[in-house]
Structure 1
Amino acid sequence: MSPHLRRLSVSLIAVTLAGTGLVAPTASAAPAVKADPRLIVLDGTDNTRTFATYRTTDGYSLNLRVIRSDNLSELTRGDEQKLARRDVATVVDLRTAVERQLQPDRPVPHARHYDEDIFGDHLAEAVNLDSAYAFFVTDPGARAGFARTLRLVSATLGQGRAALFHCSAGKDRTGWAAAMLLTIAGVDRATVERDYLASNFFRHTTPADPLQGVRLSWLRTSFDTANRRFGSFDGYLRAGLHLSDAEITTLRQRLRIA
């Protein structure tokens, strides 16, 4: 499937999920993002990438076994083998049951698949992105799904293998999960935001497109909501996601490489 058809498919899924006559939010400005070699080139996805080019504020590189992606429904045999060669052992699907039914993932050889439905019964949030990013932080079901995702990533890295997490477009639910992982690793906020905005480049879109693109204000809503609701991002991890100090420390160590 061409990139254009894949983006159209995501739009159709959003319309199917909406069913509410929601009006798309207006565009907001965001800085341009240049291409980055961390992209994993697959025929069946547009937005599969690692954190290869980033460093923490204290000088660590990041583990290349963490992979963020859009959905895997159009993977080719070659794509499947490429991910298998990267030793992908865990695939975490953050989509709703409706999305999984419309675009079921192709299996990655020797990988275990986990469904972590972030939106659950709150399907309207899937297209109302002005509120979705606060929902990621405030909804107990969403928090539980993200917590399990972080634990799965940590456990897989602890085995020395690769973990891939994705949603439909690899930009919103995946974007917040990636932002959490980068922040836990100790990457500065400007780099976290650059990684988030890179979805616009790889998906060949802009913040003006409310279905295909991402806006910096959305990501900042999640961080701001965490601060208001839990006092800080660390408070969100502990009181919101119920991650222990030991779990956070272990995940941080596994996300870093010397």
Structure 2
Amino acid sequence: MNAMNPYTLSLAVALALSPLLATAAAPVAADKAAPAVGAPRSTAPANVTPRAEDAQRVLPLEGAWNVRTFAGLQGRNGPIPAMAFVRTADLSRLTAADRDRLAAAGVKLDIDLRTGDEEQQSPDVLARDPRFDYQRISLMGTEKMDLGRMMTSFPDTLGEAYVQWLDSNKPQFLQVFQRIAAQQDGAVLYHCTAGKDRTGVISGILLDLAGVPRADIVHNYAVSAHYLEGQPKDSAMNAQMQALMQQHPDIARKMAGMGGTAPANMEMFLDALHAQYGGAQGFLKAVGLSDAEIHNLQVRLGQAG
């Protein structure tokens, strides 16, 4: 594995810090509809709170946060099957009852999008349960985060980080979506640490491929901060990062702006996805998925035909 360049390192550290920063921005009562592609983006940093229809997508677990399905989201050819996908945050604290509930809900595959460092700090409990197939694919394309090499060249927003991945992380996107396309039965669960950045980008691509309205894609991303409230922040890696930020206030100030799930982050990502690739289908072809694999994804999303 090649060493990370400083820019990739800064993004990796910011993502690992997500549990510390996710609730930094104050929530507002509701989000406004997202503008069309190319329209001016919102600059408000505030997170948003769920709407009534979001309740059908929540899968309550005792030991995990931000656990949601795509139930009720409408694609171009109808609703996405309720248990096609489960998106979530860290799964290291799952109880036996949680594992039983996921198995009963039909989850067969667990894709862990985290780095090796993150997995070692907080092992995924499902990896040791024979009822689930487990595969870890680091969407960042690295396995270690050398905190001592932290630089000050952070992106200004998480949205810029997401856009950067479209070009720099193609091999990892290919692995993730090929693995999903190969899964013939059951629900596919995927997660990172906070379930909002790497998980949010994978969700954005899937929902765009399904033809879900842009405003709903943005909202699905933006409510993550609400569902992360109460997530524990006591890992050894978080402790190291907190100490590092105390030593470098300039880095702390920069990274504080990268917390939460401001709608503008997903708006920026979708703008780039459409401007550069014509949308999710064009991007998936660009990273190397075959027409048959893309069709399999559309079948899982209930949008084939």
Under a length normalisation based on structure 2, what TM-score does the superposition of the two structures give?
0.67
Whether contact under 8 Å (1:126, 1:132) holds in the other structure is yes
Equivalences for residues 34-49 of structure 1 within 5 A? 34=51, 35-49=54-68
- Answer yes or no: is 1:248 the counterpart of 2:294: yes
Higher relative contact order (CA 8 A, sep 6+): 2
- Answer yes or no: is 1:113 the counterpart of 2:113: no
| Runs of 5+ consecutive residues of structure 1 not aligned to the other structure | 1-9, 16-25
Distance 1:226 1:64 in 2: 26
Corresponding residue of 1:153: 180
Corresponding residue of 1:218: 265
Larger Rg: 2
| Equivalent residue in structure 2 for 1:28, among 20, 33, 45 | 45
Distance 1:65 1:148 in 2: 19
What count of residue pairs does the alignment treat as equivalent? 232
Secondary structure of the corresponding residue to residue 206 of structure 2:
helix
Q: Quick one: structure 1 residues 243 and 192, their matched pair in 2 at CA, closer, same or farther if it must change by over 3 Å? A: same
Whether contact under 8 Å (1:80, 1:109) holds in the other structure is no
- Answer yes or no: is 1:14 the counterpart of 2:17: yes
Distance 1:32 1:91 in 2: 27
**What is the Cα deviation at residue 116 of structure 1?**
0.8
Distance 2:179 2:205 in 1: 14
- Answer yes or no: is 1:172 the counterpart of 2:175: no
1:171-193 CA distance string (max 9 Å, x none) = 01000101111111221111111
**What is the Cα deviation at residue 129 of structure 1?**
2.6
Q: Quick one: structure 1 residues 12 and 61, their matched pair in 2 at CA, closer, same or farther if it must change by over 3 Å? A: closer
- Answer yes or no: is 1:134 the counterpart of 2:159: no
User: Please, what is the CA RMSD of the aligned residues?
Assistant: 3.1
Identity of aligned residues (%): 32
Q: Quick one: structure 1 residues 45 and 77, their matched pair in 2 at CA, closer, same or farther if it must change by over 3 Å? A: same
Whether contact under 8 Å (1:84, 1:109) holds in the other structure is no
- Which deviates more from structure 2 when the two are superposed, residues 123-132 or residues 30-39? 123-132
1:115-167 CA distance string (max 9 Å, x none) = 1111134957799735321222111xx222222222222222x2x21210000
| Runs of 5+ consecutive residues of structure 2 not aligned to the other structure | 1-12, 19-42, 231-254
Distance 2:209 2:289 in 1: 12
Q: Quick one: structure 1 residues 58 and 132, their matched pair in 2 at CA, closer, same or farther if it must change by over 3 Å? A: same
1:68-114 CA distance string (max 9 Å, x none) = 11010000111111111123221101011111111111124411111
Corresponding residue of 2:79: 60
Q: Quick one: structure 1 residues 87 and 231, their matched pair in 2 at CA, closer, same or farther if it must change by over 3 Å? A: closer
| Equivalent residue in structure 1 for 2:283, among 236, 243, 247 | 236
